[in-house]
Structure 1
Amino acid sequence: MLGLEYFTFTQVWSPVVLSLVLLTVAGYFILTGPLSDKYGQGEKVSLNRKLLFLLGLALLYMAQGGPVELLGHIMFSFHMISMALSYLLAPPLLMLGIPTWVWRAMVALLRRSPLRRLKFLIHPVVAALVFNGLFSFYHIPVVHDYVMLHFGVHRLYYIVLFIAAALMWWTLVNPLPDMSAGKGVKKVGFIFLNMVLLTPACGLIMFAKDPMYATYSDPIVWSRAMGYCIPGDTSMLLTQFGGPEFFGYLEPVVDQQVGGILMKFIQEIIFASMLAFVFYHWYRQENRGEDDEEILKETYASSSELKQI
């Protein structure tokens, strides 16, 4: 399917990465089980929170070690799906799945370390600019092709981008009320800011009339980039397939445009959903305040009547 049948199980599913994911799952259940009783004052982790963490980890694995990652080295459209899964979907799910007591311990540790000087990075505007700036910079053709061909840089850049994504999402899914970066209208503005900042990069990709990335249009460059997924000599891919067009159902330019559209479309859906979530909670908080005021008025009225009696 989509050309995956031409690759081995190891090449498609990356057993090493899968093993790391399974170890992470085991560590998570130890953390939310025995260690929670010992260090978390017995704080119970709900089933929903556990499911969110597992879903986020599964999406991250699919995008960075599973079939989507391999397809992302063959077709630009799948590369953009991988980016959306890795930085727009997985981070908030993982963050919501981590227990509150773990967040408090991590924040306390960071406050005692030299990294506390980087606290400015969690400011909403700074976090939005850093993440969207790194994402847009990465998709400059010369930068993208360089990163795809230098595997050490590739891993480092993806780690930095993931951290930047987590800092960006912190404003919206922050589990610590005392560190909230804003409520209501501030979060709405932050969502719109992120939606706007990613538009130029997606627009350039969507409206380009020629292939921008040698990784997906030049067979030699493509075969070298495939070394990230396939160990050993990847030049045999040229003999076996000729180039990425062997797998593509779309012309390189069309595939590129579809990738830009997919990225923007997925981002719009995610942030629109988050916008609805913020509005819902904002509305509930406002109504709760009015309800509390009404209760106080009724209590005061009742008290006055009793005094009169």
Structure 2
Amino acid sequence: MFGLAYFKWEEIWSPVFLAIMLLITAAYLVLTGPVHDRLHKGKPVTAGRKALFIVGMTVLYAAQGGPVELLGHIMFSFHMVSMALSYLIAPPLLMLGLPDWIWQKLAERLSRSPLSRLRFLTHPIVAAVVFNGLFSLYHFPAIHDYVMLHFAIHRLYYAVLFIAAILMWWTLVKPLPDRSEVHGLKQMGFIFLNMVLLTPACGLIIFAPDPLYATYSDPAVWAQAMGYCVSGDPGMLLSRFGGPEFFGYLEPAIDQQVGGIIMKFIQEIIFASMLAYVFYNWYKQENREDDELSGDEAKVNLT
């Protein structure tokens, strides 16, 4: 499917990355299972939280090490699926999967380290601007093609973007509720801000009349970029396939538009769902406070 049959098993499934992800998941299960009582004298981590973390790791692996990652070097639409999985879906799942005491210990360690000077990055507006700014900057054609052609910069940029995604999600997931000052209407405003900030980049991609990225339209550039995820001489890719159009079910310009639509659609669904959830909780809290106030007034009148 989608030309995966032309590649080796290790090129599709990235066994080294898979092993790393399995080791991290195993370490998590040990920390939240057999040795939990030694590290934290509190309630055990629920099966639901563990499931969220495992699903998050699976999503992240699929996006950055599985077939989606390889297809993301062939078709721009799959690249956008990978980006959505990596930065809009995996981070909140992983954050929700970590128990409060782990976040507390991490926060205490960071507060005593030089990284504490970067605490301003957790401010909701700063976090939203940084994440969406980095995401949009990455999809400027010249920057995107440069990053895709330089492996070390590619990995570094993705790592920084992942950290920025966690900082952005911090305001919504609230792993340490006692440290969060953003609730109700402020959270809803934060969600709207994120939805607006990503729109220009998606709009540029969706409405561009021609292909923007040489990585997906120039065979020589494509082969060089593919050299980081498949073995052998990139020249062999050209002689064997001729270019990305060999695999493409869509023309480059249409594939590009589909990618932009996919990214915006996934973002809208996720943030609209979060908006509905936050609004419901805010409305319920407001009604509870009104009922309590009415009850107090009734007691005063009776006395």
TM-score range with shorter-chain normalisation? over 0.9
What is the aligned partner in structure 1 of residue 211 from structure 2?
Answer: 211
What is the aligned partner in structure 2 of residue 101 from structure 1?
Answer: 101
Matches within 5 A, 1:107-122: 107-122=107-122
Q: Distance in 1 between matches of 2:121 and 2:233?
A: 41
Matches within 5 A, 1:79-158: 79-158=79-158
Matches within 5 A, 1:32-111: 32-111=32-111
Q: Distance in 2 between matches of 1:276 and 1:51?
A: 24
Matches within 5 A, 1:173-188: 173-188=173-188
Q: Distance in 1 between matches of 2:103 and 2:298?
A: 40
Report the AA paired with residue 167 of structure 2. Answer: L
Q: Distance in 2 between matches of 1:194 and 1:41?
A: 38
Of 12-21 and 31-40, deviating more is 31-40
For the Cα contact (< 8 Å) 1:36–1:43, is it kept in 2? no
CA-based RMSD of the aligned residues comes to 1.3
What is the aligned partner in structure 2 of residue 190 from structure 1?
Answer: 190
What is the aligned partner in structure 1 of residue 170 from structure 2?
Answer: 170
- Structure 2: where are the runs of 5+ without partners? none
Query: What TM-score does the superposition give when structure 2 sets the normalisation length?
Result: 0.97
Provide Cα deviations, 1:136-179, integer angstroms capped at 9, x if missing partner. Answer: 11001110000000000000000000000000000000121221
How many residues are treated as equivalent by the alignment? 303
Report the AA paired with residue 269 of structure 1. Answer: I
How far residue 231 of structure 1 moved from its aligned partner, in angstroms, is: 2.6
Q: Distance in 2 between matches of 1:47 and 1:281?
A: 24
How far residue 296 of structure 1 moved from its aligned partner, in angstroms, is: 4.0
What is the aligned partner in structure 1 of residue 18 from structure 2?
Answer: 18
Structure 2 SS opposite 1:25: helix
How far residue 254 of structure 1 moved from its aligned partner, in angstroms, is: 0.4
How far residue 301 of structure 1 moved from its aligned partner, in angstroms, is: 6.7
Q: Distance in 1 between matches of 2:198 and 2:208?
A: 16
Report the AA paired with residue 142 of structure 1. Answer: A
What is the aligned partner in structure 1 of residue 273 from structure 2?
Answer: 273
What percentage of aligned pairs have identical amino acids?
A: 67
How far residue 291 of structure 1 moved from its aligned partner, in angstroms, is: 3.4
Q: Distance in 1 between matches of 2:300 and 2:65?
A: 62
Q: Highest Rg: 1 or 2?
A: 1
How far residue 294 of structure 1 moved from its aligned partner, in angstroms, is: 4.5
Q: Distance in 1 between matches of 2:214 and 2:148?
A: 10
Q: Distance in 1 between matches of 2:122 and 2:46?
A: 27
